[in-house]
Amino acid sequence: MRIDEIGRQPCPVAGAMAQIGDAWSWLILREALYGRRRFSDFVRHTGAQRTVVSARLKKLVGAGILRRVEYSQHPTRHHYLLTDKGRALAPVMLALAEWGSRWPADSDRGARSVEFTHSCGHPVDATVVCGGCQQPLRAGDVTPSFGTAGRPAAMFNPEGSPENQGNHGPRASL
Amino acid sequence: MRIDEIGRQPCPVAGAMAQIGDAWSWLILREALYGRRRFSDFVRHTGAQRTVVSARLKKLVGAGILRRVEYSQHPTRHHYLLTDKGRALAPVMLALAEWGSRWPADSDRGARSVEFTHSCGHPVDATVVCGGCQQPLRAGDVTPSFGTAGRPAAMFNPEGSPENQGNHGPRASL
């Protein structure tokens, strides 16, 4: 399977990554969430090549995460605005940033460029909780169950025997 | 800047993506969180080429997200276990999966392979909340502030004037 085919996997993680793309897309979305709209600002503040930014913007627009909007007619100028779908990535981005702050690379000098403050006045300290009990989610407390839509043999297990197909439900646990 | 250099950005999102890698890494981590440990299982259930899985596992071990552990001596066999750092990605993965379920691609047939159940008995419905007030985080309710460590001109703004350097704090809002 090629990386541009992972969206065929009936998995919400694969579906999300297939729509968002690579790390450059995440940095472009970071800048969009910071209020950036213009191509030149995305190039400047992500550090990506212009061709890379152009391709990622096209992908994000195609996925309905950004909208390309004309803001000037003479001369014609466009900028990129987050859709509701794109703005819905803010909590994911904050959870990812929380992990990145808590678990830096060994080479990281600990420099943090950004602190997030919530409208309540507290630091964000993004926490992912269960919508049912509001308790923080931890690996080990979550059990996945796999439906019939999951993991068709043709996609994941061409040479596998039937009992191997999609067979990691029972003992699987996050 | 090359994509393997984004970890130099003093940003927790860039730091996280630099350590995790591309979409294949996310799918390998998905499988690891589902209980997968073996190279052959990562290949089978991500759909990635063996060379791709090998490179991503090496990267994830290097980042301290997975550990390579010998589980058999005759013959010598290794498998890959999540570290605490890796298990701490579970909430991020669940938040990403929640977004992917809520916002599928147009091409998505709506097939979902997995449902997550929390130890409380409820469906997970992963929600990212503010650690201060416990309210769900939404774009528009979070304000980033940029410290002096942020966005050195040499990295982001080589030709920019000083007043442009890292200048998106005041009007920035998630």
Of B34, B30, B99, B35, the C-alpha closest to B60 is B30
Q: From CA A78, how far away is CA A72, in angstroms rounded?
A: 7
Q: What is the pLDDT of residues B84-127, one digit of tens each?
A: 999 999 999 999 999 999 999 988 766 667 899 999 999 999 99
As a three-state string, the secondary structure of chain A is: CCHHHHHHCCCHHHHHHHHHCCHHHHHHHHHHHCCCCCHHHHHHHHCCCHHHHHHHHHHHHHCCCEEEEEEEECCEEEEEEECHHHHCCHHHHHHHHHHHHHCCCCCCCCCCCEEEEECCCCECCCEEECCCCCCECCCCCEEEEECCCCCCHHHHCCCCCHHHCCCCCCCCCC
* Per-residue model confidence (pLDDT) at position B11: 92
For B21, B24, B52, the CA distances from B59, given in Å and listed in that order, are 8, 11, 11
* Per-residue model confidence (pLDDT) at position B147: 74
Q: How far is A153 from chain B (nearest CA, A)?
A: 10
Contact flag A131-B146 (C-beta cutoff 8 Å): no
Coil, strand, or helix at residue B102?
helix
Q: From CA A115, how far away is CA B115, in angstroms rounded?
A: 33
- Tokens 């991500």, located at residue: B46
Q: Is the peptide bond before A12 cis (omega within 30 degrees of 0)?
A: no
* Per-residue model confidence (pLDDT) at position B166: 41
pLDDT classification of B54: cutoffs 50, 70, 90:
very high
Q: What is the pLDDT of residues A147-171, one digit of tens each?
A: 754 443 322 232 333 333 343 433 4
A67 forms beta bridges with A81
Which chain A residues touch B151 with a CB distance below 8 Å?
A: 45, 113
Contact flag B16-A99 (C-beta cutoff 8 Å): yes
Q: From CA B24, how far away is CA B32, in angstroms rounded?
A: 12
* Per-residue model confidence (pLDDT) at position B146: 86
Q: From CA B27, how far away is CA B48, in angstroms rounded?
A: 9
- Tokens 């929390």, located at residue: B118
Whole-model pTM: value is 0.86
ipTM of the complex: 0.86
* Per-residue model confidence (pLDDT) at position B148: 58
Whether residue B169 has pLDDT greater than 70? no
Q: What is the mean pLDDT of chain A?
A: 86
Q: What is the pLDDT of residues A46-82, one digit of tens each?
A: 999 999 999 999 999 999 999 999 999 999 999 999 9
Question: Mutation test of the interface with chain B: which of A116, A128, A151, choosing the one with the most B Cβ atoms within 10 A?
Answer: A128
Of A72, A71, A70, A68, the C-alpha closest to A56 is A68
Contact flag B146-A105 (C-beta cutoff 8 Å): no
